[in-house]
Structure 1
Amino acid sequence: MKHEVTSLNTKKTIAASLKKFMEKKPLSKITVSEIVADCGINRKTFYYHFEDIQALLKWMLEQEAIEVVKNFDLLLDHEEAINFVIDYVEQNKHILNCAYDSMGRDELKRFFYNDLYGIMHSIVNHLEDILGTCVTSDYKDFVCDFYTEALAGTLINLLKNKQPYDKQKLIDYISITLKSSLPAILNADMNQKQ
């Protein structure tokens, strides 16, 4: 257990260093040498924990946002989870924009995709239980992919948006869309099978 705690603390230190450098320059200009010197560790330690800077960035994003969202019961607390994600994007706009500028829209969306897909999949599974429905696996995959793309795209649009927006209205729109459309979609698929 002690090794796991030490390893996690080392990863957090390395991530904090990456964040610090991302405040000053583009991701593509940050080197492993700079990070290890800043952390007071050797290269071997860095590579023990991360394959490269991209893997470090992915881990950092997952730890700070997506992993926390997974702890919400999204069927009951989805508005709180949406609020958390929007706050995270607002508070880390510079870092996320740095990642976006370095990797591009599609690559940044890919970072969010797997975790958001897992969240959507658990929501759909839970709704199936509540509604007493059972959709085909290929349709479930389609629905999860559809909503994952929409949510990831919305997050990235929020990140790149220079205009002020009404945060509560955005949360309400996402919430209304999920609450009203998902049950209707799952029931519609069930009705088509009959």
Structure 2
Amino acid sequence: MSNMKERFAEALMEMLEERTLEKITVKDIVTKCGVSRQAFYYYFSDIYDIVEWVCLQETQKIVDENSEIDTWQVGYAKTLHWCREHKSLLINAYRSIEKEYVEYFMNRFLKPYVVKIVDKESVRIKVSAAQREFIIKFFTLAINAITIDWVRNGMKEEPETMADNIRILVQGDIRKSLLNYHNENKRR
């Protein structure tokens, strides 16, 4: 990973503490870093590209650190804590860029957690690849919607509370979904 990319990201994060994303330009970032615009464009195509890079780098670290099946709640809560710590970045990104992009970003970090749960629950349960993927998609989108709503409403609930509420709701439901497909397949 490029040290320059990290410098650009740090500059952006510092500026987001003072102003909204719409008021930050590539020129502002490169001036703060003391480099040319060409240096910025070597790594990023625009401001939104760097926002995506920052968010994905941070969430990937959290996913990697909490990849154990039994700790998905901890990983999710840590991700929400990161969101709170970088509230200005996320709120500005949420208000500045298309909602589809925010949903795409959230899906990217939530899906690995859901996949791990489905993998754990699907041992000895036969479902098709399409059915498995539909279950993953369904639960990822449900958790995504709750998470985006949490961001939109100011991130007031504690991350651990959010993680625990989701745990309570999905506990047994993923396995039940797998079994429902399994039983439906046997009837066909």
State the TM-score, normalized to the length of structure 1. Answer: 0.84
Question: Does the C-alpha gap of structure 1 residues 72 and 134 become closer, same or farther in structure 2, counting only changes over 3 Å?
Answer: farther
Q: How do 1:86-165 and structure 2 match up within 5 A?
A: 86-128=80-122, 131-162=123-154, 164-165=156-157
Q: CA RMSD, aligned part only?
A: 2.1
> Match of 2:152, as an amino acid?
K
Match status 1:186 vs 2:173: no
Match status 1:36 vs 2:13: no
Q: Percent identity?
A: 25
Aligned mates of 2:12, 2:178 — CA distance in 1: 42
Equivalent residues of 1:23, 1:94 under 8 A apart: yes
State the TM-score, normalized to the length of structure 2. Answer: 0.87
Match status 1:75 vs 2:69: yes
The residue that corresponds to 2:56 in the other structure is 62
> Match of 1:45, as an amino acid?
A
Match status 1:51 vs 2:45: yes
Equivalent residues of 2:12, 2:29 under 8 A apart: yes
Q: CA deviation at 1:147?
A: 1.6
Equivalent residues of 1:89, 1:155 under 8 A apart: no
Judge which range, 141-150 or 105-114, deviates more.
105-114
Superposed CA deviations along residues 130-165 of structure 1, whole A, max 9, x for unmatched, are x21232122222212212212222222212224843
> Match of 2:165, as an amino acid?
Y
The residue that corresponds to 1:23 in the other structure is 17
Structure 2 residue ranges without an equivalent (≥5): none
Aligned mates of 1:166, 1:33 — CA distance in 2: 37
Say how many residue pairs are matched: 186
Aligned mates of 2:177, 2:65 — CA distance in 1: 25
